[in-house]
Each structure stands twice: as structure tokens, then as C-alpha cells.
Structure 1
Amino acid sequence: MPGISRRTYEISVQDHRLQYLSLSARHGSMRAAADYLGVAASSISRQIKLLERALSIDLVEKGSYKVQLTEAGQLLIEYYERRVVEHQELLARLAELRSTRTSTIRIVVAQGLLAVRFLKAFSTVSTKYPDINIEMKAADGDEAERLVLNDGAQLGLLFDTAQDVRLKLLATSRQPFSLFMSEKHPLAREEAIWPVQISGERLVLPDAGSRLLEIIHSVFTERGLPLNIVMKSPSIQVILDSVAQGMGVTMLPSILGHPAAAIGGIVERPILSDELSDIRLHLVSRAGRRMTPAALALQNALVREMHRLDEEQSAQPPARG
């Protein structure tokens, strides 16, 4: 506006005078601030006066032994301390981005999932971030959830996780159990299998501690059906090889056994059970966890794969029984 002089006041967050003012207010006096910094009290007093002169406004109440900020002084300190926090957060974020070149992504997966279609997602991220290390650990049940909750793993691919508010559900896919058996097995002639038909069969199942075994035990116990388990193994491949050799039959989510059935020698049949038809595969992380760009890329790739899996399963009506 004509006739009015305007003056621009420059304030830098790195201005040491702002630090002097902030510390004087925090410690109660300029001398205490000087002792904290190891400088002369007169130096701090002089710099604060220069700051007041530069801004053309009082920042400290006059005539008080203890430093009392004026309204302008309080506004300035709030601005300074806010900018310091933002500056520190920026530096931490930049350091985090730099560290992604050599960082490690840890993911815990249910038994058997290491060898199936999720490997494509791992390969895609590894190609995009060639210096990233991806560590995969096979675990089930409580152990797997503890790894995610205690930051032992950034992500978890797990069957039927507990509804823990500390876990963030990123994606889910219905993965019903099927019965897998040798193509020469008598039940291979059936289109679908009832649990009562399975009860008398020789079973090769995941070992103790497996979430899958817990689910199977729960369903058959509720129906009063005994399980004739002849072998347990932590390896899904060993289980399927044993089935192919005629040692027995096995119950697994389709995603685990389907690749072997597609090769030949093993056949897959749906199990007529509401409980075994509604098993879910979950992609989870700890709620509130901050992901690096590489970990976020892997998360997004896995979410896309989970959505494709769910679309495939949705096209197939669940077995009921």
C-alpha cells in the first residue's frame, strides 16, 4: 500500500540466537543456558538483544531475573522447536532411505508357502532393489505372530491368525482345505470327500505346533472323529512325496498341495466341511509399523497376489458339509 513501509524479517531455523533464546527459557536464565552451552552469559544476552533488534519486537520481559518470554518470544520459540523436530525427522527419514540400499526385509511365512507363487513377488522386489536382502522364516501359530509383533519380521503370511488389535490385516484370501492322495487311492474316484470318510484313513500331516494341524484337530474333535496319523513332518514337500508314494493321504489348504497335484501322481478333492472350507490366509504387519520403500514395495506386491488368489477362489463355490 502507498505510504506504508514494509520490512522483511528473515528467520533461519539454524540461527544460533533462536537456540540461545530457547535454552534460556527452558533453563530459566541466560546464565544457566550459558553454563549448559559452555559460553559466556554476556554472549547469550548480547545475541538475544541483537535478535530483538533484528525483529523489532521484545522477546523477553524486562526487569525479571528469571527469563520470561513475551507473547512474541513464545511464538518464536514454538516455531523454532517445531522446526527443529521437523529437521530431525527429515534427517532420520533421509538416513532411512539411504539405508534401504543395504537393509534387510524379514518376512515370516506359514509352512510350505516358500515354494509357491509368492516367490514371484519376492523376485520382483529383489530385481527393483538389488542391494536388499530378503530373509524368509517358516513359522506357524503363536511363534509367527510373536515375530511380527516384536519386529522380528516386517510382514507375515499366515493361516488364520488371531484377531489381535496389534496386528494390521493387509489382505486376506480364502484357502479351503483339500484332500490330497495318490491317484490310485480308492477315494480318488469321489468328487468330494466327507470328514467321516477321512477319519479312517492313514494320515500324513504337518507336525505339532503347526496352525494347520491345530485346525484339523479342532474340526475332527468337534465332530467326534478320530485321526489316524501315521506320520508328521514340518516339510510340506515331504508330506506330498509321502502321499505320492502311497503312505497315506493328507489335508492341506489347496494353495500348498495344488502345485504337486498339477504335476501328476497326486489328486486333489474338496472336503465337504464348512469349517475347513473357510480357512483364511492373511497378510499381516504390526499396527503402526513404518515400512521402508523396499518393504512397502514387497507388501504391495504380496497384496496384489493375495487379491488374485482371492479372485480365483471366489470363482469356485465353497464345499459345504
Structure 2
Amino acid sequence: MLHGIALRYFVEVARTGSLAAASEHLHVAVSAISRQIGKLEEDVGAPLFERLPRGMVLTEAGELLAEHARRTLLEADAVLGDISAGKTRGGRLVRIACTEGFTRSFLPAVLARHRAVAPNARYALRSGTPAQVEHWVTVGEVDIGVAFSSGNTPALDVAYSSEMPVRALLHIDHPLAAQASLTLADLQAYPVALLERGTTVRQLFDLCCSTRGIRIEPVLSSNNSAALHAFAALAGAITLGSSVALKGMTHETSLVWRPIDESVLNQRVLQVSTMRERRLPAVVKELLAMMVEMIMEE
């Protein structure tokens, strides 16, 4: 029989990759965790982990059980959370993961609007690459993921998906701001601030430049979009991002976005996702609906 405590220990060992790391996080003795894992393996009738010198890796049977265990534990938490929320509306933690660009203004604005109707809600927001966001949602480390699609996502339920082209972000008084659309040749005549090489946006931009035979060297490169936005606003430079990236900037309206006439830059897709077939707590569903509503707002 699969007991809740054994599943929690099992999931934590699967997440951390070792008994010692799980013990430290759970504040439970290694021997107790090992004993529960052993009982689970007896119940299942197959080894759940490969014991390696540098840690523990899930077997095929372990992968199957981990998927079931994560969903089971999250659904149990959702039920208990909804019961307790009956007395204190929204009184639970909502965990969100996103790519870095959404942390500057959009998601803080979403959370502020949500907190106005759910004052007892708490939030945990983390940023990472699209692949990291997908992984965190898949294994249940976060409730909602907001990222540009990394391709086929069978382990996720996509709550919202929409094309989200790469745009030029520039000061409202920039000479190019008067144009309805920009070309790479337009950008070439002005200082440009770009994300570091290796990011999706930079790869797409460099591909377009290479195809057109245009060379654009940024005056500033960074792994932090907030720094690029600030530099563009202060130095008259042009940076790249999405129209959503500017939403929520009610206190800072100096930047505007303009489309770039490059088909490759128009193929990026934004996804808001949750774990596949997971029962979401009421407060998570409320926040999810509000998030999608704000993305769709003109």
C-alpha cells in the first residue's frame, strides 16, 4: 500500500538525487527515508532508484511512480488548501516560474491585481530558462509556468498559448518611434542593447542579421532584461523584448514597442502552463485566469 509519507520521501529523493539531500531538506533522518523507500520498492516489486556513487537516479519504474506520486501529493494539498481557504480566502502559497523578462513588470502587476481580491494569498516567483520553467511545472515544483515554448510539451497542460513576436523596445521620443514598423537596417543606424548570446531572442536576432548580411554589434549585452530596458530608456538605445514585457509599467511609460519586419522574429509562442491533468487549487485557478486576462488586454 502506498502511504503518503513514503511518497513524500520518495518524491524528495527523486528531486534532490540523494538520501542525504532529502534528509537535510525534510529534516528527517536518512535511515527513516531509506526505510520508507525500501518499503515502497517492496510494495511495487521493482527497484525505484539506481544507486550510483554520486547519487540516486530513477529507474523506469521509478519514473512512472514519480509522475503518479507528484500529482497525488499536489492534489491532496489542493483539497486541503481549498478546505482551509473556506475560512480564509486565498490563504495559501502560489508558486510561479517564468523566463526573466516577465519578472520586471508584468508578473508583479498580475500579482498585485490578484492580491487585491485575495489579500491572504502568498506567492513564490522564480525565473529561469524555458526548459527550466517546463521542468519545474512538470515535476510540481511550481504551480504555473510562463515562458516561450521550447517545443512539444506532453507533460504540460497549456492554459494559454499565443504568438508573441520579438519586438523592438525604444524610448517614446526615439527617432524610430514614429515609424509603424522597423527593419534591421533601421536598427543598424542606432545603438542596440541585447541579451547575451545563447538566449532564444539573441539567437533569432543573430540569425536574421546573418540572413540579411547585416552586422549589428550591441553597445551593451546583459543577461538581465531590466538593465537593457533601463539603458534603452536612458541612453536612446534600442533593445528587444515582447509587448507583454511592458505591461504593468504604469509608473514608467517612457518605452514603447514597435514590430520588426522579420518573419523569423514573429514565430515565437508564449505559453502559460500547468502540470498535466493536475487538480488546481481554487486560488491557483483564479490567478491563472487573471494572468491570461492581462496578457490578452490591449
Give TM class, smaller chain: 0.5 to 0.7
User: Shift of the alpha carbon at 1:134?
Assistant: 0.9
Q: Which amino acid aligns with 2:82?
A: L
Please point out which of 97, 113, 129 is paired with 2:82. Answer: 97
The SS at the match of 1:229 is coil
CA–CA distance in structure 2, aligned partners of residues 292 and 103 of structure 1? 9
The question of whether the paired residues in 2 share the 8 Å contact of 1:203 and 1:248 is answered with yes
Aligned to 2:57: none
Q: Does 1:290 align with 2:279?
A: yes
Structure 1 Cα separation of the partners of residues 172 and 115 of structure 2? 38
1:272 to 249, 261, 277: 261
Deviation per residue, 1:123-157 (Å, 9 max, x gap):
35434444332111122322222221222211111
Change (3 A) 1:143 1:223: farther
**Does 259-268 or 220-229 show the bigger shift?**
259-268
Q: Which has the larger radius of gyration?
A: 1
With the length of structure 2 as denominator, give the TM-score of the two structures.
Answer: 0.61
Three-state SS of the structure 2 residue aligned to 1:168 is: strand
TM-score normalized with structure 1 length:
0.57
CA distance 1:94–1:165, shift in 2 (3 Å): closer
Q: Which region of structure 1 is more displaced relative to structure 2, 257-266 or 174-183? A: 257-266
**Greater relative contact order (Cα < 8 A, sep 6+):** 2
Post-superposition, which runs of at least 4 consecutive aligned residues in structure 1 deviate over 6 A?
A: 90-93, 258-262
Corresponding position of 1:180: 169
Aligned to 1:147: 136
Q: Distance in 2 between matches of 1:121 and 1:209?
A: 29
Change in CA separation of 1:224 and 1:289 when aligned onto 2, cut-off 3 Å: farther
Distance 1:263 1:132 in 2: 27
Relative to 1, partners in 2 of residues 1:296 and 1:233: Cα closer, same or farther, differing over 3 Å?
same
The number of residue pairs the alignment matches comes to: 220
Q: Does 1:249 align with 2:238?
A: yes
> Which residue does 2:220 correspond to in 1?
231
Offset of 1:200 from its aligned partner?
5.8
Q: Percent identity?
A: 16
Displacement of 1:222:
4.2
Question: Over residues 14-72 of structure 1, what are the superposed CA-to-partner deviations in whole Å (9 max), with x where a residue is unaligned?
Answer: xxxxxxxxxxxxxxxxxxxxxxxxxxxxxxxxxxxxxxxxxxxxxxxxxxxxxxxxxxx
In the alignment, structure 2 segments of 5+ residues that lack a partner are 1-74
How many angstroms does 1:107 deviate by? Answer: 0.5
